[in-house]
């Protein structure tokens, strides 16, 4: 009986495939299954998740007359130059050095204007703040009239970190946006990622 058992075990061992070098070295074989994922060029939100942009302050329809136009201001902080206020990106921003901070747009033509928008980066790291802003308009670049009196505007990532200022309707070739206060603790000036004129 014992002999039979030894014979059976020997036959079984001879029938087993030889060990691979990795098995001889005691390494564990890893099986990798590659699954093709669908092409994706934007974030997907399941329908049952609330849409965070649903609470955003709506932006006006129509052409943004400020986009890419000549713009100037006084001193800025660090690398946050004035050209960042109308480059079309809410990632880049302008920050003034002190107050009042005047931003002057040359619209390169005369247009009816009715709304100015001011946007910060909508990311939550840009915590809520209040900025005081007024808007003046001019057809000749010399004589300006007030289109919106100084007002305090609440920026909040919950509402897109953006505000809109309704103007007394006017014709304008030049628009001056004047900042006189920013409640954000870590800044010494006004901040805007994008200013729009409609």
Which residue's CB is nearer to Ca ion, number 117 or number 138? 117
How far apart (Å, rounded) are the C-alpha atoms in residues 73 and 97?
10
Instruction: Please give the span between the terminal C-alpha atoms of the chain, in angstroms, as a whole number.
Output: 99
Segment interacting with Ca ion (CB under 5 A) among 45-53, 88-96, 110-118, 153-161: 88-96
* The dihedral formed by the CA atoms of 137, 96, 71 and 62, expressed in degrees to the nearest 10: -70
Segment interacting with Ca ion (CB under 5 A) among 45-53, 63-71, 127-135, 190-198: 190-198
Structure token pair of residue 62: 């129509």
146-93-83 Cα angle (round to 5): 70
When asked if residue 193 is in the footprint of Ca ion (CB under 5 A), the reply is: yes
| Closest approach of Ca ion to the CB of residue 41, in Å | 22
Question: Are the C-beta atoms of residues 107 and 88 closer than 8 Å to each other?
Answer: no
When asked if residue 89 is in the footprint of Ca ion (CB under 5 A), the reply is: yes
Position closest to Ca ion via CB: 92
Structure token pair of residue 183: 């409640």
When asked if residue 84 is in the footprint of Ca ion (CB under 5 A), the reply is: yes
> Residues in contact with Ca ion, total (CB under 5 A)?
6
Report the site for Ca ion in 6-35 (rule: CB under 5 A): none
| Closest approach of Ca ion to the CB of residue 79, in Å | 13
Segment interacting with Ca ion (CB under 5 A) among 55-63, 78-86, 103-111, 152-160: 78-86
When asked if residue 69 is in the footprint of Ca ion (CB under 5 A), the reply is: no
Residue 60 phi, psi (nearest 5): -65, 155
Among 77, 92, 114, 159, binds Ca ion (CB under 5 A): 92
Among 74, 87, 139, 153, binds Ca ion (CB under 5 A): 87
Which residues contact residue 163 at a Cβ distance below 8 angstroms, ignoring those fewer than 6 apart?
A: 57, 117, 118, 153, 154, 155
């Amino acid at each position: 009986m014992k002999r039979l058992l030894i014979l059976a075990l020997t036959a079984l061992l001879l029938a087993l495939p030889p060990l691979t070098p990795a098995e001889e070295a005691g390494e564990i074989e890893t099986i990798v299954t590659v699954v093709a994922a669908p092409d994706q060029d934007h974030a997907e939100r399941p329908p049952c998740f609330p849409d965070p942009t649903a609470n955003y302050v709506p932006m006006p329809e129509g052409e943004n007359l400020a986009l890419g136009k000549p713009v100037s201001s006084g001193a800025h902080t660090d690398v946050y130059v004035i050209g960042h206020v109308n480059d079309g990106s809410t990632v880049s921003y302008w920050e003034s050095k002190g107050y009042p901070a005047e931003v002057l747009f040359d619209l390169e033509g005369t247009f009816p204007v009715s709304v100015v928008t001011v946007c910060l980066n909508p990311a939550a790291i840009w915590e809520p703040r209040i900025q005081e802003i007024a808007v003046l308009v001019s057809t000749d670049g010399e004589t300006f009239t007030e289109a919106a009196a100084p007002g305090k505007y609440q920026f909040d990532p919950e509402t897109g970190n953006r505000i809109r200022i309704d103007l007394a309707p006017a014709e304008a070739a030049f628009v001056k946006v004047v900042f006189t206060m920013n409640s954000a603790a870590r800044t010494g000036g006004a901040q805007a990622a994008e200013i729009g004129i409609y």
